[in-house]
């Protein structure tokens, strides 16, 4: 499995994950288009307010899945399959039980949470409705995303890709039926996502019910020290999601103060586009993460250096292409989400300003992935806090104060540029060791 040339090996693991992630991001954009065109800017703003809370609530699943998949890949690389299976079994049970509890609390607390960010009763009700549906399906939704990590750890990248594509296609069909045909409003959008990805969780778990993969269900095994490592290592990736969610909540608050629901709708539309762009970059890197961890377990560090160079080359090229496309076609891209004059007057330029962050973000994402893959827990956490929260918050406050609405979108590029210096320093230290 690991004897192919580096570039061929890179595409074998990165491409299926990129395709799956691309389809998932395509669903997010199509979902935004359905809501924006059929339900209007207020519903689009309601989704923009709701999504950061949903991401925060689902972060524990990512934390466990990512952290444990690193440990599982390390154990598989060092020929300790029984331990890997015990870890896998424990984590699946833990995720299901945790999200039964989280789903119950999230359902009842959602109106209280969103009421802090707006006095608009209709906006609060729409956001709360959206969150509640997700909380009802929380255990199955989180299991679906966790399965993706474990399938890739077993080398089942193609199966994971087909699972993701199938879930997205069902989601798009249900979006049309629930929003455009049955007129279920924002509740229909949430139901479409919840049902389709719950089906994906059943498909994802099927290969693990037999004993044909390196991982399958056995007696759960875990100890406190290892579980602590899983939480810490997974927290670097999950902390990024939390940071983005906290940042999103903060940005929504500033936008509501400076431009009202139209400003939030614009930012939501830009984030829909960003979701497919950065998701593809991160999927490229995440697809190769099990290889990086496996190479550490088998002490093949030279192959990791070659993989990193390949990842950097393609990440940079892809990001440059996206930057040019966003600048040239900003008008056409934003028109997909809403045709209202007030929306479009501000949206074009905001997207162009935001797009400058892609010139730097690819390198920071690469380093963050590598730090997680090689189990550099402390550096991974520090870098995530700096890149995902500290620099963006500082830049946002400074540039919003200096330049108002447009300054918010400039701040992302400045934060990513500053993070490059920290990323390079950490990468250099790792290779010296």
| pLDDT surpasses 80 at 340 | no
Residue range 234-249: average pLDDT?
A: 65
For 221-230, the pLDDT digits (tens) are 877 777 777 7
Q: What is the mean pLDDT of the chain?
A: 82
Residue 279: pLDDT band by 50, 70, 90 thresholds?
confident
For 72-82, the pLDDT digits (tens) are 877 887 778 88
Cβ-based neighbour number of residue 383 at 10 Å: 25
| pLDDT surpasses 50 at 354 | yes
| pLDDT surpasses 60 at 240 | yes
| pLDDT surpasses 90 at 104 | yes
Residue range 70-95: average pLDDT?
A: 84
| pLDDT surpasses 50 at 289 | yes
Residue range 294-320: average pLDDT?
A: 82
Residue range 120-125: average pLDDT?
A: 85
Tell me the percentage of the chain whose pLDDT exceeds 70: 93
Residue range 92-107: average pLDDT?
A: 91
Residue 348: pLDDT band by 50, 70, 90 thresholds?
confident
Residue range 44-53: average pLDDT?
A: 79
Which of 17-31, 273-287, 404-418 has the least mean pLDDT? 17-31
Q: Which residues contact 122 (CB under 8 A, 6 or more apart)?
A: 42
| pLDDT surpasses 50 at 2 | no
Residue 37: pLDDT band by 50, 70, 90 thresholds?
confident
Q: Residue 419's pLDDT is what?
A: 94
Residue range 252-277: average pLDDT?
A: 75
| pLDDT surpasses 60 at 3 | no
Residue range 172-179: average pLDDT?
A: 90
CB 138 within 8 A of CB 59: no
Q: Residue 258's pLDDT is what?
A: 63
Q: Residue 237's pLDDT is what?
A: 61
Residue 238: pLDDT band by 50, 70, 90 thresholds?
low
Which of 69-78, 114-123, 131-140, 241-250 is most confident?
131-140
Q: Residue 358's pLDDT is what?
A: 92
For 358-386, the pLDDT digits (tens) are 999 999 989 988 887 777 778 887 888 88
3-state secondary structure the chain: CCCCCHHHHHHHHHHHHHHHHHHHHHHHHHHHHHHHHHHCHHHHHHHHHHHHHHHHHCHHHHHHHHHHHHHHHHHHHCCCHHHHHHHHHHHHHHHHHHHHHHHHHHHHHHHHHHHHHCCCHHHHHHHHHHHHHHHHCHHHHHHHHHHHHHHHHCCCHHHHHHHHHHHHHHHHHHHHHHHHHCCCHHHHHHHHHHHHHHHHHHHHHHHHHCCCCCCCCCCCCCCHHHHHHHHHHHHHHHHHHHHHHHHHHHHHHHHHHHCHHHHHHHHHHHHHHHHHHHHHHHHHHHHHHHHHHHHHHCCCHHHHHHHHHHHHHHHHHHHHHHHHHHHHCHHHHHHCCCCCHHHHHHHHHHHHHHHCCHHHHHHHHHHHHHHHHCCCHHHHHHHHHHHHHHHHHHHHHHHHHHHCHHHHHHHHHHHHHHHHHHHHHHHHHHHHC
Q: Residue 1's pLDDT is what?
A: 40
Residue range 132-137: average pLDDT?
A: 93
Q: Which residues contact 32 (CB under 8 A, 6 or more apart)?
A: 44, 47, 268, 269, 272, 337
| pLDDT surpasses 70 at 236 | no
């Amino acid at each position: 499995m690991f004897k192919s040339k580096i570039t061929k090996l890179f595409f074998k693991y990165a491409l299926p994950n990129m395709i799956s992630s691309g389809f998932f991001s395509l669903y997010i954009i199509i979902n935004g288009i359905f809501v924006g065109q059929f339900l209007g800017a207020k519903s689009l703003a309601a989704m923009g307010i709701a999504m950061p809370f949903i991401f925060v609530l689902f972060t524990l699943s990512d934390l466990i899945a990512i952290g444990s998949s690193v440990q599982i890949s390390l154990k598989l690389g060092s020929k300790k399959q029984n331990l890997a299976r015990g870890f896998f079994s424990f984590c699946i049970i833990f995720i299901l039980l945790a999200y039964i509890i989280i789903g119950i609390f999230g359902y009842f607390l959602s109106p209280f949470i969103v009421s802090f960010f707006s006095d608009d009763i209709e906006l609060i009700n729409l956001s709360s409705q959206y969150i509640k549906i997700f909380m009802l399906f929380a255990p199955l939704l989180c299991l679906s995303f966790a399965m993706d990590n474990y399938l890739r750890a077993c080398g089942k990248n193609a199966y994971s890709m087909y699972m993701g594509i199938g879930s997205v296609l069902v989601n798009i069909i249900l979006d049309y039926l629930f929003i455009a045909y049955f007129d279920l409003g924002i509740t229909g959008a949430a139901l479409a996502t919840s049902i389709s990805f719950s089906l994906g969780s059943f498909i994802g778990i099927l290969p693990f019910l037999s004993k044909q993969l390196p991982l399958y269900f056995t007696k759960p095994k875990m100890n406190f020290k290892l579980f602590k490592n899983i939480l810490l290592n997974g927290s670097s990736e999950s902390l990024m999601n939390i940071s983005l969610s906290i940042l999103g909540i903060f940005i929504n608050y500033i936008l509501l103060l400076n431009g009202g629901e139209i400003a939030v709708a614009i930012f939501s539309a830009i984030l829909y586009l960003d979701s497919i762009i950065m998701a593809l970059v991160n999927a490229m890197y995440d697809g190769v993460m099990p290889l990086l961890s496996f190479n550490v377990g088998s002490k093949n560090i030279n192959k990791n250096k070659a993989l990193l160079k390949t990842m950097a080359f393609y990440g940079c090229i892809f990001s440059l292409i996206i930057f040019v496309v966003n600048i040239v076609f900003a008008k056409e891209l934003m028109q997909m989400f809403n045709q209202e004059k007030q929306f479009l007057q501000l949206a074009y330029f905001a997207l162009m300003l935001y797009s400058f962050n892609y010139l730097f973000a690819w390198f920071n994402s690469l380093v963050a992935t590598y730090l997680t893959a090689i189990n550099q827990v402390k550096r991974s956490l520090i870098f995530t806090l700096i890149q995902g929260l500290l620099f963006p918050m500082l830049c946002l406050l400074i540039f919003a104060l200096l330049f108002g609405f447009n300054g918010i979108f400039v701040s992302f590029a400045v934060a990513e540029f500053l993070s490059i210096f920290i990323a390079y320093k950490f990468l250099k230290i790792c290779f010296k060791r």
